[in-house]
């Protein structure tokens, strides 16, 4: 089943509008505002919610500055970090959106800013006022706020990190052997986004072993090389290290590495298993290497510096995805705004060596090819994928995916009947799925090229998934504005990829979940350890019922629905074995 061209075009445009978020253009007019919806789609652009909670003093006033009470300033600041900073930058120097520094805002003046915020622009700025998201008073307040100097949120250095560091159970006091009968390799760590928790769910019985409190709007889980420790990071940059050997797995250490963060990983190279952890922050722009047993922060590195091509200074390059090399003692760190991929050699952190690779701006997420030698990462606002050879620590290729805003998650690996090993990414801005050849030795003509484009359910896709034992490729459409589309999954049969435009089967996941209330969205498939079933989150509003739907990969039929009042807003799911071994 495939949507008609007209429908596809509509879906494409609508979802592109959602994705572009606040990308403002001062040249824009107010006649064609972007639609703006609330809920998960609108929340997709980074929201610096925890930064917004900090109370900052009004920067020193200059003559002619608008009058604002401290109370108004705090409210405007909070709103800016929640809704605007993700695109315009914490310091308002611009990111995917245009800069909003006072030289520009004052030149345009209060009325211009007020109308711009109210009506939005065709370039992607949402119509915050006319959509009803902000009241007239709030629009007025934000226009005045933008005429003031930006507030600089505090730095977060070693002193602050050590102050936040809690060694709850020291290594000497932890079990010396596994104290439970959990099949750890088949355990799933499930993000409970809005309750700031993870659920540890048994991959065979679907029973919730335990629920663990974590940071705010918790983001991802990663597993130590041995499989014993689970690391979880919240958007507030709080890391929990959970010992899966304890009778009931629990947090043994905690540390906060900044004010806003999204990524965490642990050392995987032979000889360094479980030795180090690394986390990357959005604010302050930095990454931190920690002791893998205790989370003691050891080394903080700022990512501030020059943009790879223009060689202009960027004050706040955020750290996006981090993976651990299987070929060298290196972490691979994506730096968004400067477009650099850093190969951080952790063999001697006192004399730290970092190889800096020029890639592309707005790097976001990515994963390994099936051989685990190549790392493919999306510069999503540039429509490109950069390929890194982790054996030589060098750039192999930068290619256009042909779609709008690639968003692979870690991507999906499969063996294409014609082109051999390929890695897949779907797109936020349209319904395409790009298959990129990843076997330069066996299939040199296909390597690092889009060998085939598939057409899925519609725009708004976030994640694709397959497994070495599966014959299917699964594609979600989580942020698609249409409820039926965002509630379904498209499945492509790998064997049918010999056809020019293979058809897909639709799995009505939300319908299978039997949830009547709300408009739940289906997000992120994750396989069990055997690779014969795939789990999808049915992500509903915080106060509504959510679920996890388990699908039999071989028959594409419903296997189980996991429901529990404790499963609040489940999103990402991380199977211990697949996550630690990079199987996807």
Interface residues toward ligand DHE, by CB under 6 A: 40, 43-44, 46-47, 191, 193, 219-220, 235, 262-263, 320-322, 364-365, 409-410, 462, 523-524, 571-572
Write down the residue that tokens 């050590």 correspond to. Answer: 162
- Tell me how far, at minimum, the Cβ of 140 lies from ligand DHE, in Å: 26
Both tokens assigned to 430: 């349209």
For 62, half-sphere exposure in the C-beta direction (CA atoms, 13 angstrom radius) is 6
Q: Do 326 and 580 form a contact (C-beta atoms < 8 A)?
A: no
Positions marked catalytic: 84, 87-88, 125, 364, 407
Q: Is the dihedral of CA 97, 102, 106, 107 positive or negative?
A: negative
- Tell me how far, at minimum, the Cβ of 153 lies from ligand DHE, in Å: 16
Helix, strand, or coil here: 485?
helix
- Tell me how far, at minimum, the Cβ of 214 lies from ligand DHE, in Å: 12
Both tokens assigned to 345: 């050699």
Rg (CA), the chain: 23
- Tell me how far, at minimum, the Cβ of 218 lies from ligand DHE, in Å: 7
CB atoms under 10 Å from CB of 508, counted, come to: 14
Q: Do 538 and 509 form a contact (C-beta atoms < 8 A)?
A: yes
Nearer to ligand DHE, 144 or 521 (CB): 521
* Of 154, 242, 138, nearest in space to 198 by CA: 242
Please, what's the b/e burial string for 214-225 (b: 16 or more CB within 10 A of its CB; e: otherwise)?
bbbbbbbbbbbb
Nearer to ligand DHE, 200 or 447 (CB): 200
Q: Is the dihedral of CA 162, 163, 164, 170 positive or negative?
A: positive
CB neighbour list of residue 281: distance below 8 Å, 6 or more residues apart: 156, 237, 257, 258, 259, 260, 261, 287, 288, 318, 319
H, E, C per residue of 265-331: EECCCCCCCCCEEEEEEEECCEEEEEECCCCCEEEEEECCEECCCCCCEECCCCEEEEEECCCCCEE
Nearer to ligand DHE, 121 or 334 (CB): 334
- Tell me how far, at minimum, the Cβ of 43 lies from ligand DHE, in Å: 6
Nearer to ligand DHE, 52 or 440 (CB): 52
- From CA 370, how far away is CA 502, in angstroms rounded? 23
- Tell me how far, at minimum, the Cβ of 350 lies from ligand DHE, in Å: 25
- Tell me how far, at minimum, the Cβ of 431 lies from ligand DHE, in Å: 18
Nearer to ligand DHE, 146 or 462 (CB): 462
* Of 412, 517, 394, 392, nearest in space to 454 by CA: 412
Both tokens assigned to 533: 């079933």
Nearer to ligand DHE, 40 or 481 (CB): 40
Nearer to ligand DHE, 40 or 440 (CB): 40
Q: Which residues pair with 253 in a beta bridge?
A: 167, 241
- Tell me how far, at minimum, the Cβ of 82 lies from ligand DHE, in Å: 9
Q: Do 154 and 50 form a contact (C-beta atoms < 8 A)?
A: no
Q: Do 352 and 344 form a contact (C-beta atoms < 8 A)?
A: yes
Nearer to ligand DHE, 292 or 409 (CB): 409
The DSSP symbol for 454 reads E
Helices 136-145 and 70-79, axial angle in degrees (round to 10): 90
- From CA 243, how far away is CA 303, in angstroms rounded? 31
Q: Do 245 and 178 form a contact (C-beta atoms < 8 A)?
A: yes
ω into residue 198 within 30 of 0, thus cis? no
CB neighbour list of residue 485: distance below 8 Å, 6 or more residues apart: 11, 457, 458, 460, 477
Both tokens assigned to 211: 């629920």
Q: Residue length, the chain?
A: 584
- Tell me how far, at minimum, the Cβ of 483 lies from ligand DHE, in Å: 17
Nearer to ligand DHE, 228 or 465 (CB): 465
Residue whose CB is nearest to ligand DHE in the complex, by number: 572
Please, what's the b/e burial string for 39-60 (b: 16 or more CB within 10 A of its CB; e: otherwise)?
ebbbbbbbbbbbbbeeebebee
- Tell me how far, at minimum, the Cβ of 568 lies from ligand DHE, in Å: 12
Nearer to ligand DHE, 224 or 571 (CB): 571
Nearer to ligand DHE, 440 or 572 (CB): 572
- Tell me how far, at minimum, the Cβ of 569 lies from ligand DHE, in Å: 8
């Amino acid at each position: 089943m495939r949507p008609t061209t007209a429908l596809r075009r509509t879906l494409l445009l609508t979802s592109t509008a959602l994705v572009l978020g606040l990308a403002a253009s001062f040249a824009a007019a107010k006649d064609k505002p972007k639609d703006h919806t609330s809920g998960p789609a609108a929340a997709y652009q980074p929201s610096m919610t925890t930064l917004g909670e900090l109370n900052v003093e009004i920067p020193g006033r200059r003559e002619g500055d608008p009058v604002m009470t401290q109370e108004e300033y705090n409210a405007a600041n909070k709103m800016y970090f929640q809704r605007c900073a993700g695109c315009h930058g914490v310091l308002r120097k611009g990111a995917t959106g245009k800069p909003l520094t006072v030289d520009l805002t004052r030149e345009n003046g209060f009325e211009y800013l007020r109308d711009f915020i109210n009506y939005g622009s065709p370039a992607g700025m949402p119509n915050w006022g006319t959509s009803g998201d902000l009241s007239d008073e709030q629009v007025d307040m934000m226009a005045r706020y933008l005429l003031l100097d930006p507030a600089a949120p505090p730095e977060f250095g070693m002193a602050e990190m050590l102050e936040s560091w809690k060694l709850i159970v020291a290594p000497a006091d932890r079990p010396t052997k596994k104290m439970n009968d959990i099949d750890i390799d088949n355990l799933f760590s499930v993000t409970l986004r809005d309750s700031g928790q993870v659920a540890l769910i048994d991959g065979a019985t679907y029973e919730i072993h335990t629920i663990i409190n974590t940071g705010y709007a918790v983001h991802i889980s990663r597993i130590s090389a041995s499989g014993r420790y689970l690391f979880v990071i919240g958007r507030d940059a709080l890391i929990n290290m959970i010992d899966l050997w304890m009778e009931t797995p629990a947090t043994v250490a905690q540390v906060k590495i900044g004010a806003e963060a999204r990524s965490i990983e642990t050392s995987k190279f032979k000889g360094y298993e479980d030795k180090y952890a690394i986390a990357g922050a959005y604010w302050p722009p930095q990454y931190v290497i920690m002791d893998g047993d205790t989370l003691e922060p050891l080394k903080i590195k700022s990512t501030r510096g020059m943009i790879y091509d223009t060689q202009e200074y960027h004050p706040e390059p955020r750290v996006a995805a981090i993976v651990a090399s299987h070929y060298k003692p290196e972490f691979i760190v994506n730096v968004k705004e400067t477009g650099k991929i850093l190969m951080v050699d952790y063999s001697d952190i006192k004399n730290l060596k970092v190889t800096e690779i020029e890639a592309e701006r707005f790097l976001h997420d990515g994963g390994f090819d099936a051989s685990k030698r190549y790392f493919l990462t999306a510069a999503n606002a540039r429509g490109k994928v950069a390929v890194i050879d982790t054996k030589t620590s060098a750039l192999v290729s930068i290619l256009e995916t042909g779609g709008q805003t690639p968003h692979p998650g870690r991507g999906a690996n499969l063996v294409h009947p014609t082109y051999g090993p390929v890695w897949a990414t779907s797109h936020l801005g349209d319904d395409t799925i790009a298959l990129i050849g990843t076997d330069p030795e066996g299939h040199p003509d296909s390597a690092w090229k889009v060998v085939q484009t598939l057409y899925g359910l519609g725009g708004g896709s976030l994640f694709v998934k397959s497994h070495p034992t599966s014959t299917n490729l699964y594609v979600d459409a989580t942020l698609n504005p249409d409820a039926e589309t965002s509630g379904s999954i498209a499945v492509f049969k790998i064997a049918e990829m010999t056809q020019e435009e293979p058809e897909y089967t639709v799995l009505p996941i939300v319908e299978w979940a039997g949830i009547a209330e709300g408009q739940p969205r289906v997000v992120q498939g994750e396989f069990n350890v055997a690779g014969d079933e795939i789990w999808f989150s049915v992500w509903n509003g915080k106060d509504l019922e959510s679920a996890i739907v388990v699908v039999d990969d071989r028959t594409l039929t419903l296997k189980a629905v996991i429901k529990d009042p404790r499963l609040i807003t489940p999103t990402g799911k991380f199977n211990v074995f697949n996550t630690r071994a990079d199987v996807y």
